[in-house]
Amino acid sequence: MRELTRRARQVEIDILSVTDCFITHEHTDHICGIKTFAKNTASTIWTSKKLNSGCGIEETGDLTPNEPVVLGDVKVTPIATFHDAVDPLGFVIETESKKALVLTDTGKRPKDLERYMDNLDLVVLEANHNKRMLETGPYPYPLKRRITSNYGHLSNEESGEILADIVKRAKKVPTCFLAHLSEENNKPQIALLDVANTLKANEVLPGRDVQLEVASQYVPSKVLSI
Ligand SMILES: [Zn+2]
Ligand SMILES: [Zn+2]
């Protein structure tokens, strides 16, 4: 919570003003401090129904994949992802004029992604690892297998394939933040290069057709407004 407050302050967000918080899944890198956050703010914590029943947080809202939640003029639709967690989710966030996708922690392309791919303005997309770095890196074999499985994480190339399809179906030039980069098995410049190469192989030109950026796990990204 202290870290979250500090980072929010860096981008001029008052953590107490957050009204709704959406949880993708229960792995520690995603929910560390959530109970303290729930206790100290008036925010509604939205999680999947199955996860909700076990997480012990009050003031929660239940999410069901493909059933949108409408908050004022913002619509948030959860999509089921493939990950070794209880009911893991990605999110499509829409206003009247903008559409964003947040998709991390999935071993492969979500089954229902197809129906949300049109006209995205903003994409936060997992580019977890460079395949060769993972293969030759220090992780124990079972962990390597977990990461590359259908219930693990997207490699840079897999991320590039998904992004290429998204870009081809966008009306305007979308912005994509590559996210959830592995500390051991990736580097920002390598993720950018791998994704750019995959895009080019699919006839999508970074810079012309899509604005590519990398999200850091240490420094807060700029605030994205839609
Ligand atoms: Zn996870
Ligand atoms: Zn994660």
Is 110 inside any structural domain? Answer: yes
Kindly report which listed range (3-12, 16-25, 72-81) carries the lowest average pLDDT score. Answer: 3-12
Tell me the mean pLDDT in the region 157-171: 98
Question: What's the token pair of residue 214?
Answer: 């990398």
199 and 126 together in one domain:
yes
Ligand nearest to the CA of 29: 2
Tokens of 38: 């729930």
Tokens at residue 165, please? 């399809």
In the reported structure, the alpha carbon of residue 216 is separated from the centroid of ligand 1 by a whole-number distance in angstroms of 17
Determine if the pTM surpasses 0.85. yes
* Domain boundary pick from 28, 43, 63: 63
pLDDT tens string 10-31: 777 888 888 999 999 989 888 8
Span from the CA of 160 to the centroid of ligand 1 (angstroms): 20
Query: Which of the ligands is closest to the CA of residue 152?
Result: 1
What's the CATH code of the domain at 205? 3.60.15.10
The one-letter amino acid at 73: D
Look at 44-58, 90-104, 118-132, 192-206 and tell me which has the smallest mean pLDDT.
44-58
* Whole-number pLDDT of residue 39: 86
pLDDT value for 53: 61
pLDDT for residue 96 is more than 90: yes
If you measure from the C-alpha of residue 27 to the centroid of ligand 1, how many angstroms do you get, rounded to a whole number? 5
Range of the domain at 153: 64-214
Judgement on whether residues 36 and 148 belong to the same structural domain of the protein: no
Q: Is 43 inside a domain boundary?
A: yes
How many whole angstroms separate alpha carbon 159 and alpha carbon 166? 11
Choosing from 63, 93, 114, the residue where a domain stops is 63
Under the banding of pLDDT at 50, 70 and 90, the label for residue 54 is: low
- Output the pLDDT for position 184: 96
Average the pLDDT over 163-186 and give the result. 97
Q: Are residues 39 and 80 in the same domain?
A: no
Number of domains in the chain: 2
The verdict on 102 and 206 lying in the same domain is yes
Last residue of a domain, one of 63, 91, 115: 63
Pair (82, 72) in one structural domain:
yes
